[in-house]
Amino acid sequence: MYYVYMIRCLDESIYTGYTNNLKKRYKEHIRGKSCKYTGTKGVKRLETYFTFDTSTEARRLENFIKKQSKTKKEKIVQNPTKFKAEIKGRFA
């Protein structure tokens, strides 16, 4: 299983990533060891995540979310169920 996740940073920005081990990856972000962005910004909390059967699907969604505006990312975080319904079947 693959995950696309969204992390709220201490400066209120949102980091989006993907992994096949969410628990491990999140711990790496908290420790500041996984990527430059969250290592610099700091981690406040895991906001939401989406699951996929393949890495291809996960990467497609990750890239889609990263291209969205801050406003759209906030809407995704506020209502991930609605977003999931909007994108259903789109990244398969």
pTM (two decimals): 0.93
Among 7, 45, 3, 47, smallest CA distance to 21 is for 3
Helical segments of 1-92, H only: 22-31, 36-41, 55-66, 70-78, 80-87
Q: How is residue 30 written in tokens? A: 């908290």
Instruction: Report the pLDDT value the prediction gives residue 44, as an integer from 0 to 100.
Output: 97
58-70 average pLDDT score? 97
Q: Topology of domain 2-71, per CATH?
A: GIY-YIG endonuclease (3.40.1440)
- The answer to whether residue 81 scores a pLDDT higher than 90 is yes
Amino acid at 9: C
Q: Give the pLDDT band of residue 92 (cuts 50, 70, 90).
A: low
pLDDT at 89 exceeding the cut of 70: yes
Domain ranges of the chain: 2-71
